Amino acid sequence: MILPPIPQAAIDMIKRFEGLRLKRYSDVDGFGTIGYGHLCKPGDGLNVISQDTADNLLDDDCMRAAAAVIHYVTVPLNDTQYSSLIDFVFNMGAGSFQRSTLRQKINRGENNDLYPEFKKWVYGNGRIIPGLITRRNAEYVLFTKGTKNQTS
């Protein structure tokens, strides 16, 4: 599958909300994380990384998120919608997106009131995370911006 390029808006949003940490840490759900929110695997040896490694991991993770968006969304998206959903999938995972009412409504063309669907995804480890409220708001605002450049 050939993916449309990852829009800079998606990369900027991910960097903004994930931040950069070159040493492995536990995220709010207790998962080992490094770089720009890259989930570590047990035994992967990623304890301390360079900026170049963080950038490469981000590129790979963005490509996986974009592939999931293209796979699960059956309607055309403009660049801002594509960017918004890449950030959402990057953060919440492809499985969560696949099962979401958000995805279902987008695929049915029900884009008029998606805010309640975005704001369902603000929990980490069973509690509301203020940073996720801010992130979902930003994704919603970006999703609703109109452009004429279609990506899928």
The answer to whether 110 is a known catalytic residue is: no
SS3 16: helix
Q: Which of 18, 110, 117, 139 is catalytic?
A: 18
List for the chain the helix, strand, coil content (%; round to 5). 50, 10, 35
- DSSP codes, 28-64: TTS-EEEETTEEP-TT---SB--HHHHHHHHHHHHHH
What residues are labeled active site? 18
